[in-house]
Amino acid sequence: MTSELTDFIGLQGLLTDEERLVRQTARDFVNREVIPIIDSYAQEEKFPGHLVQTMGSLGFLGPNLPEEYGCAGLSSVAYGILMYELERGDSAIRSFASVQGSLVMYPIFAYGSAAQKEYWLPKMAAGEAIGCFGLTEPDFGSNPGGMRTRAKNNGDGTWTLNGTKMWITNGSIADVAIVWARTDDGVRGFLVEKETPGFSSRRMKGKWSLRASVTSELILENVVVDEAKSLLPDGKGLKAPLGCLNQARYGIAWGALGAADNCYQTALEYALQRVQFDKPIAAFQLQQRKLAEMVTELTKGQLLVLQLGRLKDQGLATPAQVSMAKMNNVQVALDIARKARPMLGANGIMGEYPLMRHANNLESVYTYEGTHDMHLLIIGEAVTGIAAYR
Ligand code: TGC
Ligand code: FAD
């Protein structure tokens, strides 16, 4: 396994010392703790839960949130490069970290009360509590504004929630779910702890993608929650959950390239070693073309997210720019994984090599956090001023 990032154009020279240190720490973690075990966990459809506390102790959970909550206070670029390295191991590991950091800790930080932040953020940063984010429903995926999950204000300091959420990462291992529900006052977010009566989860087995990630259905049947503990006071309307998606989509735009990097390096090393017709297959023009196209697209994707990260750190990144990066980089990663797989011939289908695992994982990444189509339409709206998705 090559020990360095694919860096054709001097990306590392554009990183700060802190960003390089984060990258190396994450890379060492992935080489030591993820790569040796991930194939068997994925084959057995198991999540490597034993890594959660280590990830917490290394500062990988909510890493761009402030230190006062036990987080690392990193730049957006450092956060992105961390996602890149985690997804080089497996999209399931990056998914876990994305959901915990961007979809659970971030909304608690951005929309929660002081007491909610003090209670949840340090535990979540340490990996001592796990969260999940329930927006999608069986009948409302790309169009979450149609959600049917309902929260009723009982007028006595409690709310009652009813509904079903589907495809929820970390759902059945979570200590707390952020459930987005329709109220008389628009969409609101609620923290629902796993033991709350009427709340249950069911793991969705049988995926051919993200097999090392837990995906679940959440069921809420007359779940009564305390307003002070549960309702996120400052997140009002659909823009509240959509605002969290900007954070997570940004991380995915970096992360997908990590999977692509792993596929590219695997194909390159194999092509240099595998001899057919008395030459390494890397000596044949057809194989070189694939490698040259892969490294070119990977490099363009790296520059896109680096610029986006710098904009984000200045508070200037727009949702449509995030959509462009998520859409482009996931497509690039999927193309690289698909191009790399046949370069290994029959070996390319084996779990000993990461290619089919990454390619299959990236099918989910292509769909979640806004499908490729939805991001095209968000960009289309940004450039024309016309929303073509409704
Ligand atoms: P629309 O009327 O356009 O917007 C409603 C309000 O929200 C604002 N807004 C945003 N705010 C912040 N960030 C964004 N990205 C935003 N997009 C829209 C908008 O300005 C408006 O604000 P206001 O003040 O006027 O109320 O809403 P719409 O219903 O027409 O839908 C817009 C659309 C289609 C872009 C949106 O619904 C969408 O993005 N759909 C895709 C759904 C999606 O991405 N779901 C992801 C679920 S979570 C997940 O997949 C986790 S995977 C986890 C893992 O394992 O990594
Ligand atoms: P649909 O919205 O039904 O779309 C089906 C097809 O129609 C897609 O190709 C789509 O692009 C296309 N389409 C839809 N609308 C339009 C339009 N207006 N114009 C053109 N084409 C359109 N959700 C969460 O809330 N939390 C999670 O943690 C989470 N984790 C996930 C984990 C995995 C492994 C997966 C696969 C999904 C997860 N999701 C999660 C759900 C994910 O966000 C949705 O699957 C996604 O938003 C798409 O919704 P859908 O599957 O219902 O597809």
| CB-based contact 248:154 (threshold 8 Å) | no
Q: Does residue 170 fall inside a structural domain?
A: yes
Q: Does 355 map to a domain?
A: yes
* Per-residue pLDDT tens over the stretch 237-251: 999 999 999 999 999
Q: Is the dihedral of CA 369, 126, 5, 352 positive or negative?
A: negative
Last residue of a domain, one of 90, 125, 160: 125
First to last CA, the chain: 47
Torsion-angle region of residue 210: left (phi > 0), alpha (psi -120 to 50) or beta? left
Pairing of strands 131-134, 176-183: parallel
Among residues 390, 333, 341, 342, the alpha carbon closest in space to that of 363 is found at: 333
* Pair 106, 156 in one domain: no
Q: Are residues 225 and 361 in the same domain?
A: no
Residue 146 and residue 35 share a domain: no
Could you say which of 180, 201, 236 is where a domain stops? 236
Q: Is the dihedral of CA 99, 314, 27, 329 positive or negative?
A: positive
The CATH number given to whatever domain includes residue 110 is 1.10.540.10
Mean pLDDT of 18-36: 97
Q: What is the pLDDT of residue 1?
A: 46
CATH number, residue 137: 2.40.110.10
pLDDT over 90 at 2, yes or no: no
- Tokens for 89? 């191991």
Residues 20-45, mean pLDDT to the nearest whole number: 98
Residues 256, 376, single domain; the answer is yes
- Rounded mean pLDDT, 54-80: 97
CATH number at residue 248: 1.20.140.10
Ligand 2 probe mutation, 102, 136, 205, 366, most atoms within 8 A of CB = 136
**DSSP structural state of residue 137:** B
Residue identifier of the C-alpha nearest atom 44 of ligand 1:
370
Does 215 sit in the ligand 2 pocket, CB within 6 Å? yes
Structural domain span for residue 47: 11-125
Looking at 19, 227, 369, 381, which residue is catalytic? 369
| Residues 258 and 88: beta-carbon distance below 8 Å | yes
pLDDT tens-digit map of 149-191: 999 999 999 999 999 999 999 999 999 999 999 999 999 999 9
Span 247-299, pLDDT tens digits: 999 999 999 999 999 999 999 999 999 999 999 999 999 999 999 999 999 99
pLDDT of res. 23: 97
Residue 8 one-letter amino acid: F
- Identify the residue whose C-alpha is closest to ligand 1 atom 32: 143
Distance (Å, whole) CA 15 – CA 90 = 23
Map tokens 């994984």 to a residue: 337
C-alpha–C-alpha distance, residues 119 and 12, integer Å: 37
State pLDDT tens for residues 183-228: 999 999 999 999 999 999 999 999 999 999 999 999 999 999 999 9
Q: Is the CB of 302 under 6 A from ligand 2?
A: no
Residue 117 has pLDDT above 80, yes or no: yes
Considering 108, 125, 142, which residue would you say is the last residue of a domain?
125
Q: Percent of the chain scored above 90 by pLDDT?
A: 99
195 is catalytic: no
Residues 187 and 266 in one domain: no
Please identify which residue in the block is written with the tokens 């979640």.
368
Q: What is the mean pLDDT of the chain?
A: 97
Q: What is the total count of domains within the chain?
A: 3
Token pair, residue 260, equals 């692509």
Helix (H) or strand (E) holding 215: strand 215-226
At residue 3, the pLDDT reads 60
Is there a single domain that holds both residue 246 and residue 213? no
Is 44 among the domain residues? yes
Q: What is the mean pLDDT of residues 117-126?
A: 98
